[in-house]
Structure 1
Amino acid sequence: MTSATRRLHFERHRTDRIGWLRAAVLGANDGIVSTASLVVGVAAAQSSQSTIVMTAVAGLVAGAMSMAAGEYVSVHSQADTEKADLDRERAELAADPAAEARELTAIYVDRGLTPELAQQVSEQLMAHDALGAHARDELHVSSALAARPVQAAITSAAAFAVGAALPLAVAAVAPMASLLYWVAGTALVFLAVLGAVAARTGGAGMAVGAWRVTFWGALAMAITAGVGTLFGAPV
């Protein structure tokens, strides 16, 4: 064996980032879009700057708590489902391991292995970690994609607060006469940067990521500004 073949082969994959990256991008995007839209809508209704800033602060706090609660509940539901499936699989393995081995063999045959090789793979994997093999190949549950409710809740709340703080800061320092335009313009820049960074972190195209996030943010702000102008009251 040569030194080249003995050398360890390392690869960097991004699937282990899915949990926190999804929560962080969702939180920051919601923080920017909802707070900027709130500020734009209130500004379009001819409110005072102090009212606009206080509205944005309230939106930041309420939104962060809402994101944390929503993410925790939804991701915990996923975790409960995964646990129930694993418990059921554990019971089936204890009751009829031979049937479970045949089930795993059939999965590998469907993926392209010969029946003989599929049986050997199934036997070896089950001897090593039967539940882990069925979790991964039958239930599609893995450590990288497993639901983590607390992580999702904390990440979403923190990301929302950071995202919401950006239009809030602009609203606090921008001239009242042009506050609406300052908030809307900078929010689009923030969204474009967020989309590009998120796409880069996830291994996707930065331009597409930036455009996708910016488009929906601009649409949300435009609709909110229209409502504020139409009704002439905070929305």
Structure 2
Amino acid sequence: MATQESASASSPHPGEQHGEGLQSRLNWLRAGVLGANDGIVSTAALVVGVAGATTAVAPVLLAGVAGLVGGAVSMALGEYVSVSSQRDSERALIAKETWELETMPEEELAELEEIYRARGLSPETARTVARELTAHDPLAAHLDAELRLDPGDVANPWAAAGASAVSFTIGALLPLLAILLPPAELRIPVTFIAVLLALALTGAVGARLGGSHWLRPTLRVVVGGALALLATFAIGSLLGTDVLG
């Protein structure tokens, strides 16, 4: 909160909205990277496990497609429910602020002045800023100052669900193709290499978007993915054709 307030005090109102829009886009990019990462790991673990049990193509293809479709639907549904809850909360806050501005405009103006005084502006400047912003767009001014909310940027659950499903599908296609296209003796090593390289890329991109150094997050993702592949491959190899018939 202190960081947000100091940033608000040191930059003009339009600049704040631009920064928040950029942050929102970065959040979407991070969600896309995580969705792709989930698609890579979960689908790769599934097909490698089945490929460890049999060299037949049909079971691997069936497992991979089922994992891709089920995972994409699950990711989309989860994202839709989550973002719908966020949207409902945002709409409720906007409705409440709209009602307060209609029923008690003077009290709301005084509250806005107090917010800007608390952020370091002099009483005269805070009063001027509050009045000018209220004259321009009172709802936007109060939502930004009090709630850090942009009324024109309410969360869209359908867009979130679609983006999540698409990113998961793109990630899942990589291990599916890597396990199906090479000859039988090369399927597992090719899939391991392709998946670990892809995980290294998503880990580095995620770290970059998060503003951290790329090495440690990338190693975490790669090591975690490698352990998942090794575990499912070992289980598939141990069970072998006894389970598959």
* TM bin (shorter chain): 0.7 to 0.9
In the other structure, the counterpart of 2:222 is 214
Greater alpha carbon shift after TM alignment, 222-231 vs 75-84: 222-231
Asked whether 1:116 is paired with 2:114, we answer no
Quote the Cα distance in structure 1 between the aligned partners of 2:149 and 2:184: 52
In the other structure, the counterpart of 1:30 is 38
Cα pair 2:114 2:126 within 8 Å, conserved: yes
* CA separation of 1:170 and 1:137: change in aligned 2, threshold 3 A: same
* CA separation of 1:133 and 1:230: change in aligned 2, threshold 3 A: farther
Aligned partner of 1:182 among 186, 190, 203: 190
In the other structure, the counterpart of 2:8 is none
Asked whether 1:17 is paired with 2:30, we answer no
Aligned ranges 1:30-179 → 2 under 5 Å: 30-46=38-54, 48-142=56-150, 146-179=154-187
Q: Any stretches of 5+ residues in structure 2 without a counterpart? A: 1-17
Quote the Cα distance in structure 1 between the aligned partners of 2:231 and 2:110: 57
Quote the Cα distance in structure 2 between the aligned partners of 1:24 and 1:143: 24
Q: Any stretches of 5+ residues in structure 1 without a counterpart? A: 1-9
State the TM-score, normalized to the length of structure 2. 0.78
* CA separation of 1:14 and 1:106: change in aligned 2, threshold 3 A: same
Corresponding letter in the other structure for 1:67: M
Corresponding letter in the other structure for 1:40: V
Corresponding letter in the other structure for 2:129: V
* CA separation of 1:213 and 1:171: change in aligned 2, threshold 3 A: same
Q: Greater share of helix residues, 1 or 2?
A: 2
* CA separation of 1:52 and 1:144: change in aligned 2, threshold 3 A: farther
Cα pair 1:192 1:211 within 8 Å, conserved: yes
Cα pair 1:171 1:179 within 8 Å, conserved: yes
State the TM-score, normalized to the length of structure 1. 0.81
* CA separation of 1:99 and 1:184: change in aligned 2, threshold 3 A: same
Residues paired across the two proteins, number: 224
| SS in structure 2 of the partner of residue 138 of structure 1 | helix
Asked whether 1:195 is paired with 2:203, we answer yes
Quote the Cα distance in structure 2 between the aligned partners of 1:70 and 1:37: 21
When the two chains are superposed, the root-mean-square deviation of aligned CA atoms in Å is 2.8
Query: Structure 1 residue 220: deviation in Å?
Result: 3.2
